[in-house]
Structure 1
Amino acid sequence: MFQSFSESAHPEQGPPRLAALREVMADARLDGFIVPRADAYQGEYVAPCDERLAWLTGFTGSAGFCIALRDKAGVFVDGRYRTQVRSQVDLAHFTPVNWPETAPADWLAQELPEGGLVGYDPWLHTPREIETLTNGLRDSGVTLKATDNLVDRIWPDRPAPPMGPIRAYPAELAGLTHAQKRATLAAELSAGGHDAAVLTLPDSIAWLLNIRGSDIPRNPVPHAFAILHATAKVTLFVEAEKLDGTLRAHLGDDVIVRPPSAFGPALHSLTGPVRLDARSVPVWVMRELDQAGVPRVWGDDPCVLPKACKTDAEIAATREAHLRDGAALCEFLAWYDEQAPGSISEIDVVRRLEECRRATGALLDISFDTIAGSGPNGALAHYRVSTASNRILARGDLLVLDGGGQYLDGTTDITRTLPVGEAADIGADERAAFTRVLQGMIAMSRVRWPAGLAGRDLDVIARYPLWLADQDYAHGTGHGVGVNLCVHEGPQRLARISEVPLRAGMILSNEPGYYREVAFGIRIENLLVVQEAETLPGGDATGKLCFETLSFVPIDRRLIDASRLSDDERDWLDGYHALCRDLVGPRVAPAVRAWLDQATAPLGDAGK
């Protein structure tokens, strides 16, 4: 299997490791040290050798950081992880801090009232992060100092860096050759008067050069650095053993391969101006250019926006991937409905779902560790089942099942909330909350909006039905998704903090939810792609955008309080289920087709 169930959090190991860190902090004459969940490439996902935050604290979430002081250690987490962090760290030694509500600068100013010197690794922070922190500390007496990584000094068995092979990605699936991509972005650099751009984000480099890697589990990206020159040439800094002759031939003469040790000297040799993205390049790169006197300018990573706006070929490919994945999900759901309450566990669910995806013959990996949280575990938005946490699915539970696959032609991510037992076994509160979540998900699926609006402008649409009941969820409504790349992709998001205008071709998740701590969780998720909207009869031709749904798996009707749905909501759900039958039905076995027909039957007049 791709997924394992070993216990990844070890709270008991945190205190002695924190004590060791404080010893080296004292030797370095530092009053604090920042430990982020980040690596030198500044992607969201990190290799085992870069899991410093988890190694030190026990916290395994995908976002957060620790600030260790001489007498206190704050673990900063957002709303997705506030329940999880309390179970993964030793609360006698680590203090959870609600972030971003509490800014790290404010916390430091309060905890170091006499001032102090706080160290950070310049490889693991961006200029924007350090600038924000520095500005927040102004007049506090607290100062920052770049240093080597103190955690690495005390991590005796730190894993070696990954050396996964790199392969070419087919141009017919990408829609453009890497020569075409390089030429387009180089012209943009030249038009801006920029001599080069530094790239560190793994998915940017993978997208630009039409390559895929295997350095990060679940995410087919390589660890490498790159410099895109205004001549359309690229210097790629990567370990030679990751490349074979076929890959070198794919890259061609205009991609010069150098070892990672040559990255610093190459920065010094640039004439500039060099374009840097303050939100993704490490501080170390900025410092190297400044020390060499190379002019630099701030600007977006040139790959990020074109990568987000998928080509027609990528959209066609990912449609096929989602139909294949949808058929696998239906095979699983037909099996699930045959299991009696109390007869299977969360681990059984994860194993069976992966078996169904593997049976397609096209699965390269899962796109993230499958979330299968039943009962109170479902209230943990990013729950990962282990042998220690594994629960038997009991009658009356809700099961939050969130998973996806990495296929050559697409990356999938879908969530369904399922009852354990029959509809009568589920409580009224759960059914009411499920219906509100469904209403928000339908509203987002149907929305049409004027071009120029960002994710923050649409996020409220999915929350409105929950807000009417004084309910909400602590995560964004949706994240960007790549095509055989990262399941979390920027810059597009459906979230209160997203200011990036949505554009045609962007793929996003639509996943409102509701979580009641130690009781139950609910989430319903499809993937959507932004499309130009046709003008409706009687409407004004004002350039609207809309969403096309990519995911086709039935939504469990047993959890719906149909009396709460409007006629339009019923019509959308019945239409969606008809598409599930038409598009996925021909891809499944006859017995599963019979299940699918029953699971997608129209709501009719029930509950009116």
Structure 2
Amino acid sequence: MFKGEADLFQSFEETASPEQGPARLEALRAAMAAAGVDAFLVPRADAHQGEYVSAHDERLAWLTGFTGSAGWCVALADRAGVFVDGRYRVQVRAQVADVFEPVDWPEVSLGDWIAEALPKGIVGFDPWLLSLDQHRALAKKLPDRELRALDNLVDQVWQDQPAPPLGEIFVQPLDLAGEAHGEKIDRISQSLTADAAIITLPDSIAWLLNIRGSDIPRNPVPHGFAILHRDGRVSLFCAAEKLVGLGDHFGPKVSVAPVEGFLNAVQALEGRVQIDPATCPMAVAALLNDPHEAQDPILLPKARKNAAELEGSRQAHLRDGAAIVRFLAWLDAQPVGSLTEIDVVKQLEGERRATNALRDISFETISGAGPNGAIVHYRVTEKTNRKVEDNQLLLVDSGGQYVDGTTDITRTIAIGSPGAEEQRAFTLVLKGMIAISRLRFPKGLAGADLDALARVALWQEGMDYGHGTGHGVGAYLSVHEGPQRLARTGKVPFEPGMIISNEPGFYKEGAFGIRIENLIAVEEAPALPGQSVPQMYRFETLTWVPIDLRLIDADLLTEAERDWLNTYHAEVAARISPLVEGGAKDWLSQACRAI
């Protein structure tokens, strides 16, 4: 077994504190009373409005115990709702105390719940943590309530709140970025329809300036704010301590100032100012008269990976694939019942570390045995750690951050001989994954147009899964990246260069979970004879790791599906076999056999 456990990125400490929730909620309610508000909003968000937050900004987890990556708490004097989406319905019940009421969100909106729970009164919020769009949605639902901006009340009662992060910023090399940051600035500034654009998303700033950072665990991004001017200048606002190693990287196009000067700089802007209402905090939007509202101008250019970024991702996936094959070979060689979920996580991270290229894991590894696999975003702790037992499924969802790419892969593995129910469900999930992998589709379609194709086989059996089929992935950036999504909510058309995950699943609460995930990239599809559609796209597979043949009911696969699987496994063997040795090479040959 991997011995370098002290060096692990992942820890197994219990971060949820449901037993402390009641006292913390009462402290917050006392602060609410002192501030003269009847409700207070606690989102899982920070001032930058990205998906991921630092320890300093984990207010939702500190208050409620819920550690998911999305959600809200609305605290009233007599009720407190915790709003979670379909990924976290099981998890939230295990993590919060009885004083908190889980609410299915977005099926039930914050505004509707508050309108019912608070017939009249004042709703307090931190203007840095509420976007312009979110404020508007609440104001529309609550026309008779006052929405009052105030200093964060959680920060007032959180006695041991960690300090804001000051992680070092470093350069992303040009050969991996594929385009100099000066060229990016010129290209995107010239596309603006305003005199300046305010940028708050950390990964947007990192990509634009060809920098990476270490302010957020698992995501190599720095905290800061930026103003992109149409004349080709960038004003960056961040702590000077972060920049000591950059030298003259920025050049004349980029000026740097302390973050404390950001709001004054916003107020001093002349002409038309562009903001993204989905990500611009109210603290910023409130300073502007009639701003021009448009999507963050960096989102789409960042999502359309250039040739260097795509090649970097391919190389990262080969390296990562070899590490996972070594892990899977090791796993199959262990006596059944001898491992725990934590043992699995340690060994997998050890194999990635052995590449000598791993910068971090891209998220906390999900290692769910049996019923824990049904918790979509399960995080194993010393308290929840289960044995990996005979005749059950093990779901492992993990990823690596390499300087040339970000990976994300899920494999569901047979331990012993799981039953016919598990095998049938696995095969139905696989059919959906193959459907997306084989797809050709016309230019102009978005995730909402394609998501159902991954679910058809499950739907025909009365089954489904409560998450999207796929999310965007960054180039040594965030493992979740917009604006594209392979989901019912995905409205942004797919374009060549976009990387997305393909990860249908099925979860039987209290029994097992199944998910199969590859990363894929959008590319132009060659024209077919007689093709009448001007341009069609298809997906390039990036992930090369065997899919567990022991869990497949081949009779449920069509000939085309079987051909795709056999071709995929032949390609896995061809690409990965030269990168592994000994028992792993032998295991790979068997795992990639044709069916």
- TM-score range (shorter-chain normalised) is over 0.9
Match of 2:300 in 1: 305
| Residue 408 of structure 2 is aligned to residue 413 of structure 1 | yes
Q: Which amino acid aligns with 1:549?
A: T
Give the Å deviation of 1:542. Answer: 2.2
Following superposition of structure 1 onto structure 2, how do residues 208-607 of structure 1 map, counting pairs within 5 Å? 208-244=208-244, 246-290=245-289, 295-421=290-416, 425-540=417-532, 542-603=534-595
Q: How many residues are aligned here?
A: 588
- 1:205 aligns to what SS in structure 2? helix
Contact kept, 8 Å, 2:236 with 2:255, in 1: the verdict is yes
- 1:288 aligns to what SS in structure 2? coil
Match of 2:153 in 1: 150
Aligned to 1:123, which of 112, 125, 128?
128
For residues 470-520 of structure 1, what are the alpha-carbon distances to aligned partners after superposition, in whole Å with 9 as ceiling and x for unaligned? 000000000000010000000010010111011010000000000000110
Cα distance in 2, alignment partners of residues 47 and 288 from structure 1: 26
Give the Å deviation of 1:116. Answer: 1.2
Contact kept, 8 Å, 1:108 with 1:142, in 2: the verdict is no
| Residue 118 of structure 2 is aligned to residue 112 of structure 1 | yes
Cα distance in 1, alignment partners of residues 146 and 236 from structure 2: 35
Q: Which amino acid aligns with 2:186?
A: A
Cα distance in 2, alignment partners of residues 310 and 460 from structure 1: 26
Give the Å deviation of 1:265. Answer: 1.1
Match of 1:135 in 2: 140
Q: Which amino acid aligns with 2:128?
A: W
- 1:41 aligns to what SS in structure 2? coil
Q: Which amino acid aligns with 1:123?
A: W
- 2:485 aligns to what SS in structure 1? strand
Contact kept, 8 Å, 2:198 with 2:228, in 1: the verdict is yes
Aligned to 1:187, which of 185, 190, 206?
190
Cα distance in 1, alignment partners of residues 548 and 90 from structure 2: 27
Aligned to 1:63, which of 66, 70, 77?
70
Contact kept, 8 Å, 1:272 with 1:296, in 2: the verdict is no
Give the Å deviation of 1:142. Answer: 2.5
For residues 517-565 of structure 1, what are the alpha-carbon distances to aligned partners after superposition, in whole Å with 9 as ceiling and x for unaligned? 0110000000000000001234335200110000000000000011100
Contact kept, 8 Å, 2:169 with 2:213, in 1: the verdict is yes
Give the Å deviation of 1:594. Answer: 1.0
Cα distance in 2, alignment partners of residues 116 and 449 from structure 1: 51
Aligned to 2:109, which of 74, 80, 103?
103
- 1:159 aligns to what SS in structure 2? coil
Q: Which amino acid aligns with 1:116?
A: G
| Residue 47 of structure 2 is aligned to residue 48 of structure 1 | no
Cα distance in 2, alignment partners of residues 387 and 243 from structure 1: 37
For residues 431-481 of structure 1, what are the alpha-carbon distances to aligned partners after superposition, in whole Å with 9 as ceiling and x for unaligned? 100000000000000111110011000000001100000000000000000
Give the Å deviation of 1:89. Answer: 0.4
Q: Which amino acid aligns with 1:225?
A: F
- 2:287 aligns to what SS in structure 1? helix
Give the Å deviation of 1:296. Answer: 1.7
- 1:527 aligns to what SS in structure 2? strand
Give the Å deviation of 1:340. Answer: 1.5
Cα distance in 1, alignment partners of residues 528 and 458 from structure 2: 29
Cα distance in 2, alignment partners of residues 311 and 213 from structure 1: 21
Cα distance in 2, alignment partners of residues 540 and 568 from structure 1: 24
Structure 1: segments with no counterpart, 5+ residues: 604-608
Match of 1:169 in 2: 172
For residues 279-335 of structure 1, what are the alpha-carbon distances to aligned partners after superposition, in whole Å with 9 as ceiling and x for unaligned? 011111111224xxxx52101111000000000111011000001000000000000
Contact kept, 8 Å, 2:204 with 2:302, in 1: the verdict is yes
Contact kept, 8 Å, 1:446 with 1:547, in 2: the verdict is yes
Give the Å deviation of 1:428. Answer: 1.0
Cα distance in 1, alignment partners of residues 82 and 441 from structure 2: 39
Cα distance in 1, alignment partners of residues 271 and 29 from structure 2: 41
Match of 1:606 in 2: none
Cα distance in 2, alignment partners of residues 248 and 63 from structure 1: 37
The alignment-based identity, stated in percent, is 58
Contact kept, 8 Å, 1:25 with 1:32, in 2: the verdict is yes
Give the Å deviation of 1:22. Answer: 0.5
Cα distance in 2, alignment partners of residues 395 and 541 from structure 1: 51
- 2:114 aligns to what SS in structure 1? helix
- 1:271 aligns to what SS in structure 2? coil
Cα distance in 2, alignment partners of residues 540 and 106 from structure 1: 47
- 1:483 aligns to what SS in structure 2? coil
Contact kept, 8 Å, 1:418 with 1:556, in 2: the verdict is yes
Q: Which amino acid aligns with 2:552?
A: I
Match of 1:88 in 2: 95
Cα distance in 1, alignment partners of residues 502 and 542 from structure 2: 11
Please give the TM-score of this superposition, normalised by the length of structure 1: 0.96
